[in-house]
Amino acid sequence: MRLIGKDVVTYGACRAMGKAIAAFLLLVSPAWAGPVTVLALGDSLTQGYGLVQDQGFVPQMQKWLDDQGIEARLVNGGVSGDTTAGGAARVEWSLTPEVEAMIVTLGGNDLLRGFDPGVSRGNIEKILKVAEAKEIEVLLVGMKAPGNYGAGYKADFDAIYPELSEAYGTLYVGNFFAGLGEGSPADLQAYFQPDGIHPNADGVGRIVEALGPRVIELINATK
């Protein structure tokens, strides 16, 4: 089952916009005493399933930030197969004292298993409540439900991320896969591993370029 929504921007436009935003944010970035530690809390998409170590989401994002001159240290908090419930169960101890910001990318496995959107919402809200209590800045990255569960399910699930982001004042990206752009399933398959679910190294690179400017915003928000 593919978890890519239709409301995504083209890769070329996203890449050009991302570079422009990143350049601007770099100019306005404050001087820091040291790197900001960012926890990437997620599932196999964060963990780097099926990829060699330096091709996963966290290593590629770390390199992208380094290339922009951003002083940050990303911690890979991705657990393959994790659900929103798993993230909620481990967020408290994952947010060690040095962590100042968190990227939350969870919900894909909830979709694959057809979990009740209300349950997923409750779990993500628990994560955001812990972050709020610890004064941790958050970038919440959404997932888009496929249409095969029905329009009602899709509407309920897709609403989780923007509504909770607004309620808890987090930064927000609507779709983890947006950087891959639009296209037919056959076209987009070029950026996926054979399972059709996990991006390959090229796909991760595109995702990182799209998300990178928002990660810079997250890092700046800690100061």
Structure tokens at 98: 């040095």
Structure tokens at 68: 């922009």
Alpha helices, H only, the chain: 11-28, 44-47, 57-67, 84-94, 108-112, 117-133, 151-168, 185-188, 201-221
Q: Taken in order 175, 173, 109, 43, is the CA torsion positive or negative?
A: positive
Residue 13 exposure: Cα atoms within 13 Å on the Cβ side: 6
Examine the residue annotation and report whether 158 is marked as an active-site residue of this protein.
no
| Neighbour-count burial for 100-136, b at 16+ CB within 10 Å, e otherwise | bbbbbbbbbbbbeeebebeebbebbbbbbebbeeeeb
Examine the residue annotation and report whether 184 is marked as an active-site residue of this protein.
no
Residue 122 — φ and ψ, nearest 5°?
-60, -40
- Which residue is catalytic, options 43, 44, 120, 165? 44
Helix (H/G/I), strand (E/B), else coil: 103: strand
- Which residue is catalytic, options 120, 158, 165, 198? 198
Examine the residue annotation and report whether 80 is marked as an active-site residue of this protein.
no
Active site members? 44, 195, 198
